Amino acid sequence: MIADHFKLFNLNITTDPAVYERAPVHQRTRIIITPEGNWYGPVSGVSAIGSFVWGDDTPAWVFIHALSDNPAFIAAAATHQIGHTLGLQHQSAYDSYGLMISELSGGENNIFSSQAPLMGIPFYKAADWKNGHPSTGVQNIQSDTAMIAGAPNYIGYRKKGEGTVTGDNTVKIERQDPGSLALNSPGNYSYRLFDISGRLLTQGILKTGYNEIPTSRSSSGVLVLQWQGESGSGSEKILH
Q: Give the tens place of pLDDT for each residue, 197-230.
A: 667 888 889 888 888 888 865 555 677 788 887 6
**158-202 pLDDT per residue, tens:** 764 443 333 456 788 777 777 788 888 888 888 888 876 667 888
Residue 161 and residue 127: Cα distance in Å, rounded?
Answer: 25
Burial of 60 (0-12, 13-18, 19+ CB in 10 A): buried
Q: What is the pLDDT of residue 230?
A: 67
Average pLDDT value over all residues in the chain: 86
Q: Which residue has the higher pLDDT, 50 or 233?
A: 50
221: left (phi over 0), alpha (psi -120 to 50) or beta: left
Please state the rounded mean pLDDT for residues 27-34: 96
Domains of the chain, first to last: 3-149 (no CATH), 172-239 (2.60.40.3080)
Q: What is the pLDDT of residue 34?
A: 97
Residue 220 and residue 223: Cα distance in Å, rounded?
Answer: 8
Q: What is the pLDDT of residue 146?
A: 87
Residues 10, 157 contacting (CB under 8 angstroms): yes
